[in-house]
Amino acid sequence: MESTAKYWVGFSRAAGIGAVRLRLLLDHFGDIASAWRADEPALRAAGLGPHAVSGIVAARRSLDLEDEMERVTQRGFQVLTWEEPSYPAHLLEIASPPIVLYAWGSLDRSDRHAAAIVGTRRPTPYGQSVARDLATALAVHGVTVVSGLARGVDSLAHRAALDAGGRTIAVLGSGLDQVYPAEHRALAEEIAGQGSILTEYPLGTRPEAGNFPVRNRIVAGLAMALIVVEAGEASGALITAGFAADQGREVFAVPGSIYSRASRGANRLLLQGATPLVSPEDVLEALAVPAQAAIPEEAISLGTDLESRLTGLLSDDPLHADEMVARTHGTPAEVLAALAMLELQGRAVQVGGMHYVRARPPRRVAEAVG
Q: How confident is the model at residue 361 (pLDDT cuts 50, 70, 90)?
A: low
CA 168 to chain centroid = 9
One-letter identity of residue 158:
H
What percent of the chain is modeled with pLDDT above 90? 70
For residues 212 and 61, what is the distance between their CA atoms, to the nearest angstrom?
29
The better pLDDT of the pair 146, 340 is held by 146
Question: Is the torsion defined by CA of 178, 183, 184, 187 positive or negative?
Answer: positive
Q: Mean pLDDT for the chain?
A: 89
Is the predicted pLDDT of residue 303 greater than 70, yes or no? no
The better pLDDT of the pair 303, 225 is held by 225
The better pLDDT of the pair 309, 351 is held by 309
Is the predicted pLDDT of residue 272 greater than 60, yes or no? yes
Q: Which of 36-50, 97-111, 188-202, 354-368 has the lowest mean pLDDT?
A: 354-368
Nearest 10 degrees: Cα torsion 190, 191, 195, 201:
-130
For the stretch 92-149, pLDDT in tens is 999 999 999 999 999 999 999 999 999 999 999 889 989 998 999 999 899 999 999 9
Q: What is the pTM of this model?
A: 0.80
What percent of the chain is modeled with pLDDT above 70? 92
Is the predicted pLDDT of residue 238 greater than 80, yes or no? yes
The better pLDDT of the pair 305, 163 is held by 163
pLDDT at 362: 43
Is the predicted pLDDT of residue 178 greater than 60, yes or no? yes
Q: Which of 53-67, 205-219, 264-278, 337-351 has the lowest mean pLDDT?
A: 337-351
Is the predicted pLDDT of residue 298 greater than 50, yes or no? no
Is the predicted pLDDT of residue 292 greater than 80, yes or no? no
